[in-house]
Amino acid sequence: MERYYSYSRFIKEYFGEKLYKICIDGGFTCPNRDGTLATGGCIFCSEGGSGEFTENASLSVSEQIHLGKSQTSRKYQGEHYIAYFQAFTNTYAPVDRLRALYEEAITAPEIVALSIGTRPDCITPEILDLLEELNKRKPVFIEMGLQTSHDSTASFLNRAYPTETFTKTCHALAEAGIRVTAHIILGLPGETLDMELDTIRYLNTLPVSGIKISMLYVLKNTVLASYYEQHPFHILTMEEYINHLIICLSQLRKDIVIERMTGDGPKDLLIVPKWIGHKRLVLNTIHKEATKLYAGRKLMSEESLTLYKLMILFMLDNLDFPLTNSQLSEFFVNHGYTSYFHLQQAINELVESEFVRAETIRNTTNYHLISSGKEALSMFHTQISEPIKNDILDYFAEKKYQLRKEVDITADYYPLKKKRGEYMVKTQIKEKGSLLLELNINVVSKEQAIAICDSWEKKSDAVYGKLMEMLLLDE
């Protein structure tokens, strides 16, 4: 039995045979490049629109299919293929042009399905009708680049569409009977493992059929390369990436097909990390670590998982403020109760069962106890031993002030829709759950927004004190 739903298994079940993709360049561009939405594209995207392994766009679709077949003949002896429109945004064109390109591919007898890479904001009702029509003749699979569910990170990436657009388009495609694959990236600047798990949880709520996961890598001649040169940031090591990947896979809905688990940038363009050039080693290590972790998960009893969930409920019930993922991890892992992997499983099940509510503020996910969780705890709290309860309460006695401060002082920022390039910074100070101070500040750049958010935790007390002094000053 496989540890996850692999792409090869899906293809064999869906088509009854192994298939190979032929990458096709339809000669498209992107609204994020041509000035319609922005210029320069997503900052990580290469000059080839992430289509370095496609055929030559000057060739017809039929010619590209023929060439692709000849190039794969040594490693693939099958008769059928998937035509994969990969480079740039492959629905960004008039419907008539799209119909001509897709028809040329779908009418080829060796092509049994179309796979189309695009953006969620580039599927109009007319294009959706076309895709639905084609899907009735041969399967049509749509791939959309999400990268992250966090709009603040997406703004930094210059993705140029809000996450809500992905949500709406995903539902529209699913209603039309079209399978959707989401692309995400792990290791994005400023994103933590908790934020990556937020993206996974977001996808779990959508009618997504597949997922492609990649680490962040930096290619020459990209905006990201220039940024990395001027502002070096941490790039995940192979060990860190595999750890993040496996934990994310553990939280992913089991029916979602894992279509990719590692990136594959051109070696001549790759700046960092160099380890992705050893693809076979990376994949073998992923499978090895996944096997070990999967075995550990199978061995964990239901009783243990139930105990961990009750402990989380008990912790939240004994505080008048939420706890973050990292705060819960500090207690469970450092006190030797369980691994980070098993803790995430427990947290995820509590959220899915609606015993706990998750709230994300910038880089942090806060977990709140809700009434159903209180009821569950009241019924089963006796399953938590007194020594464990005392361990939790002793931890709170020592750390309560620090824990409260971490969740009561918050700052986040959002792009202003009507003012391109400007941001709203929302800062708060709470005291025992009650709002003490809230400042909403308009700034003219993302850099200013980030700087204010980063400074707020350290300087919020001073800002509050100065405001009170000025407001109460009797002139």
CATH number where 150 lies:
3.80.30.30
Q: Please say whether the beta carbons of 421 and 444 come within 8 A.
A: yes
The domain tally of the chain equals 3
**Could you tell me the residue range of the domain that residue 459 belongs to?**
409-472
What the block records as the tokens of 159 is 């993705």
Are residue 57 and residue 196 in the same domain, yes or no? Answer: yes
1 is a domain residue? no
419 is a domain residue? yes
Q: What mean pLDDT is predicted for residues 127-139?
A: 98
Residue ending a domain, among 406, 429, 454, is 406
Predicted confidence (pLDDT) per residue in 333-344, tens digit: 888 888 887 888
Of residues 207, 186, 212, the one with CA closest to residue 197: 186
Residue ending a domain, among 270, 297, 324, is 297
Predicted confidence (pLDDT) per residue in 248-272, tens digit: 988 899 899 999 999 877 888 999 9
- Percentage with pLDDT > 90 across the chain: 55
CA 408 to chain centre: 26
Quote the DSSP letter at residue 234. Answer: P
Are residue 438 and residue 370 in the same domain, yes or no? Answer: no
DSSP states of 292-351: HHHHHHHHS-HHHHHHHHHHHHHHHHT-SS-EEHHHHHHHHHHTTS--HHHHHHHHHHHH
pLDDT of residue 436: 78
Are residue 448 and residue 402 in the same domain, yes or no? Answer: no
52 is a domain residue? yes
Are residue 141 and residue 169 in the same domain, yes or no? Answer: yes
pLDDT at 294 over 80: no
Q: Please say whether the beta carbons of 221 and 46 come within 8 A.
A: yes
- Percentage with pLDDT > 70 across the chain: 92
Bond preceding residue 273 cis, omega within 30 of 0:
yes
Q: Please say whether the beta carbons of 161 and 206 come within 8 A.
A: no
In whole angstroms, what is the distance from residue 289 CA to residue 64 CA?
38
Q: Which of 12-16, 120-124, 436-440, 458-462 has the lowest mean pLDDT?
A: 458-462
Residue ending a domain, among 262, 277, 297, is 297
Are residue 117 and residue 250 in the same domain, yes or no? Answer: yes
162 is a domain residue? yes
For the chain, the average pLDDT equals 88
Question: Hey, how many other C-beta atoms are within 10 angstroms of the C-beta on 363?
Answer: 18
| 364 Cβ neighbours under 8 A, 6+ residues apart | 192, 194, 324, 325, 326, 410
Are residue 286 and residue 416 in the same domain, yes or no? Answer: no
Are residue 209 and residue 344 in the same domain, yes or no? Answer: no
